[in-house]
Structure 1
Amino acid sequence: MAMGPILGPGRRGRRSPMAEINVTPMVDVMLVLLIIFMVAAPLMVAGVQVDLPQSKAAALEQDQQPVSISLDADGSLFIDEEPVAPANLAPRLQQIAAGSTEEGGPRIFLRADRGLEYGRVMRVMGEINQAGLRRVALVTVGGEER
């Protein structure tokens, strides 16, 4: 607790307690916590490691949980983080389309590593379209180019 000023010279005064709260240390702690959470939050995203391309498009608003289809740098396929063989992709997509009550099927988020060849990504998009799923969004990383 801080003490008030001492009375002038020659006066026998005592220090009196101040009734003010020093909030500077609390603000410092809050700013440090804010920085820690800002740095740590992007690291908490779990999923298949994919190096996404950049885009300046705005994020999509979503009502229901989308189905995520990912292609990693090796070209391996994943549906919601579960590995899928390329031969089993069409039946799985038809199963997803049949289980949906929405017109055009559920929203599909297609995430593909930027190092993959264009044809491989287009083949997966063709399978998605052939299964009757029409609500497809390509996932990118927002911001400026690296």
Structure 2
Amino acid sequence: MAMGKAPGDGENGEEVGFAEINITPLTDIFLVLLIIFMVTSSVIVQQAPSGGAQTGLKVNLPKGGATDVTARATDLSVAILSDGRFVLGGNVVSEDELKRAFADAQQKNPDTVVIVQADEGVPHGTVVVVMELAKSAGLGQLAIGVREAK
């Protein structure tokens, strides 16, 4: 057997061609990954119905009657999850990071409205903590996010 020839080559020096790579399974995997990415990204990024503040996570808001607060692009929306974590701009943040965000927002625009979107199961004290952090940073305009009562 001569060097450089594939096993199974004929004695007369004929070269056997290599099989083509089948890309169909690879394409199937990419399509499945694309579908998974599209579904998860639409679940993770949820924009508020008014087109303003964005939390990124689903919060079960309590029902309310008045809907006179319209979120602006400069407003800060803080979501409090049922387990007590704080979410700001789609990211889970600590209390210190929340303080820094409030201070930065106050420096950029003192008229920034802080919209607190707390889950129905969150204790009242946790909501008060977020409101006190905003007030101590100099942001006095506070609003509570609710679902529209039907």
Smaller-chain TM-score bracket: 0.5 to 0.7
1:82 matched to 2:91:
yes
Q: 1:65 deviation in Å? A: 4.1
Aligned residues, how many?
98
- Report the RMSD for the aligned CA atoms in angstroms: 1.9
Q: 1:67 deviation in Å? A: 1.4
Name the TM-score, length of structure 2 as normaliser. Answer: 0.58
> Identity over aligned residues, as a percent?
21
Aligned-partner Cα distance in 2 for 1:63–1:49: 20
Aligned-partner Cα distance in 2 for 1:127–1:82: 18
Give 2:117's aligned residue: 111
**Structure of higher RCO (CA pairs closer than 8 Å, 6+ residues apart):** 1
Q: Does the 8 A contact of 2:46 with 2:58 survive in 1?
A: no
Unmatched 5+ stretches in structure 2: 1-44, 48-55
Q: Which amino acid aligns with 2:99?
A: A
Give 2:32's aligned residue: none
Q: 1:63 deviation in Å? A: 5.1
Mapping for residues 1-146 of structure 1, pairs under 5 Å: 45-46=46-47, 47-61=56-70, 64-100=73-109, 104-144=110-150
Aligned-partner Cα distance in 2 for 1:97–1:135: 11
Change (3 A) 1:73 1:62: closer
Name the TM-score, length of structure 1 as normaliser. Answer: 0.60
Q: Does the 8 A contact of 1:69 with 1:77 survive in 2?
A: yes
Change (3 A) 1:98 1:68: same
Name segments (4+ residues, structure 1) moved above 6 Å: none
Q: Which amino acid aligns with 1:92?
A: A
Aligned-partner Cα distance in 1 for 2:94–2:72: 29
Change (3 A) 1:96 1:63: closer
Q: Does the 8 A contact of 1:105 with 1:132 survive in 2?
A: no
Aligned-partner Cα distance in 2 for 1:125–1:71: 12
Aligned-partner Cα distance in 2 for 1:63–1:77: 20
